[in-house]
A and B are shown apart, each in its own frame.
Chain A
Amino acid sequence: MVPVSLYLFLSVVLFSVGVVGVLTRKNAIIIFMSIELMLNAVNLSLITFSRMHGNLDGQLLVFFVMTVAAAEVAVGLAIIIAIFKKKDTVNVDEMNLMKW
């Protein structure tokens, strides 16, 4: 049987890869994909904990996380398309309308 810490280690590594992606990339779509990666890492740890404690509540939470992620992707990509129409770029450095 695979120990719990290995599953959590995989989750940590995936989450960190997502964090590095958000910190280093400038393409808004790739930043968005890194966020998806982080959501998946969290889902993995939720399922691991669910298995560790022997009840299904963690898996149900993952179900809702996936629902929210789907909604988030639809709205987020719509925003990216709207910005691209207006500014002709998806570089996050040029989206500074709300910069103080």
Chain B
Amino acid sequence: MELAIFIVLAVLAISSAVVVITQKSPVYSVLALVSTFFALAGIYVLLNAYFLAMIQIAVYAGAIMVLFLFVVMLLNLKEQYYVENPKKIIGGVLGLAFVFALLFPIFEIEKNLVPESQMPVGDAYNIGIRLFTDYVFPFEIASIILLIATVGAIVFTKKHS
């Protein structure tokens, strides 16, 4: 049952990822990427990472992709469907080679998932406790990074007088 759900989600994720890089129109690419993120959120749930599944939907599929969609529509890229690279096939071959290069180490892993009883559930309670005790310094740094990014984005798009 779990395997069947995994396969459905994986096929959805991979096929919409392929749509992302093959579509001519950026709007369709953004929508396909949203569907990839939703499928990945489902897979996080299968891995007992409930908090991250929620964050994946809220931050990635919600905030980040809306930002992408805004920019795509703001730029109004009509007639911007560039002549794509004729050497595209090289990129495809490189990608396949990449998959094969990484396949061998993956299927040699003998350790499997620990049984569910030995795994702390990745819910907001457990993650929050770790975040505000062991990881409180990186957490504060992350807030500074977000502040700097906000200021940086405003400075970049500001009109220069």
A and B: bona fide binding partners: yes
Contact flags B17-54 to A (C-beta < 8 A → 1, else 0) = 11011000010011001001100100110111101100
Contact B98 A6 (CB under 8 A): no
Which residues of chain A in 1-52 are interfacial with respect to chain B, using CB atoms and an 8 Å cutoff?
Answer: 1-10, 12-21, 23-27, 29-30, 32-34, 36-37, 40, 43-44, 47-48, 50-52
Contact B72 A63 (CB under 8 A): no
- Please measure, in the bound complex, the distance between the C-alpha atom of A97 and the C-alpha atom of B46, giving whole angstroms: 46
Task: Identify whether the interface residues of A are mostly helix, strand, loop, or mixed.
Answer: helix
Contact flags B76-114 to A (C-beta < 8 A → 1, else 0) = 010010101100101110111011001100110101111
Q: Which residues of B contact A15 (CB under 8 A)?
A: 98, 102
Indicate the size class of the contact surface on chain A: 35 or more
Q: Which residues of A contact B51 (CB under 8 A)?
A: 59
A55 to chain B, nearest CB (A): 7
Which residue numbers of A lie inside 8 Å of B, CB to CB?
A: 1-10, 12-21, 23-27, 29-30, 32-34, 36-37, 40, 43-44, 47-48, 50-57, 59-60, 62-64, 66-75, 77-82, 84, 89-91, 93
Q: Which 7 A-B pairs have the closest CB atoms?
A: A71-B149, A21-B21, A20-B95, A23-B91, A78-B156, A24-B91, A54-B114
Report 20 cross-chain contacts, Cβ distance below 8 Å, ordered by A residue: A2-B3, A10-B10, A12-B99, A16-B96, A21-B21, A29-B75, A33-B68, A37-B17, A44-B43, A47-B52, A52-B112, A55-B120, A62-B52, A63-B127, A64-B142, A66-B55, A70-B64, A74-B67, A78-B156, A81-B156
